[in-house]
Amino acid sequence: MIEGKISVTWTEEDYKNLPWSTNAIPEEKFNSTVDPRHYNVGVFMCYDENLLTKYYDAVSVIPLEKKVVAVNKLSPGQILPFHTDKYLKYKSKNNIKETDIIQRVIVFLHDQKAGHQLWIEDRICIGEAGSYFGWDQGTEHMAANLGQEDRYILQVTGVKC
């Protein structure tokens, strides 16, 4: 598992005021082993690279090539059950070779709140703003918001250096 901490260079307004996709089932998230018909999986995402520049700067210390970032919002009661990602859109848009090792890193944009969960295999990941956790392609993971406040994270996808 990948883990570390980066400097917090963003404010709450930077992620709360993004233009969230109203698509309740974003294409990239469900290029995975999750069947969205069976869960409340309404993840909202923002991929706007112009608006996400500060996040690219913040994650420059994470050793990945061909980085793509997105900010995700999980509202109370939403869950992404254990699954593995297929990265189909990422692979096609970034000319990823079969020999490349794709990694996904989740950066907490705010301090941990009650009910906010990230599991990587059998380990729950807990931390304050700037803490990050990641995995190699093919690793089972899940996220849930069983709390009372929205959960915001930065999702970084890239190729291992």
- pLDDT digit string, tens, across residues 55-69: 999 999 999 999 999
* pTM for this prediction: 0.89
**In degrees, to the nearest 5, what angle opens at C-alpha 104 toward C-alphas 149 and 93?**
110
pLDDT, position 29: 46
Residue-wise pLDDT for 109-125, tens only, equals 999 999 999 999 999 99
Q: Are 37 and 30 in contact (CB under 8 A)?
A: no
pLDDT, position 159: 98
pLDDT, position 9: 95
Range of the domain at 46: 2-160
Residue-wise pLDDT for 83-99, tens only, equals 999 999 899 999 999 99
Q: DSSP string covering 93-156, please?
A: HTT--TT--EEEEEEESS---TTEEEEETTEE----TTEEEEEETT--EEEEE-SSS-EEEEEE
Domain at 123, CATH number:
2.60.120.10
Number of domains the chain is built from: 1
pLDDT score of 49 more than 70: yes
Backbone angles phi, psi at 91, to 5 degrees: -60, -45
Backbone angles phi, psi at 130, to 5 degrees: 95, -15
Alpha carbon of 77 to those of 14, 28, 97, 114, 139: distances in Å?
A: 23, 21, 37, 13, 24
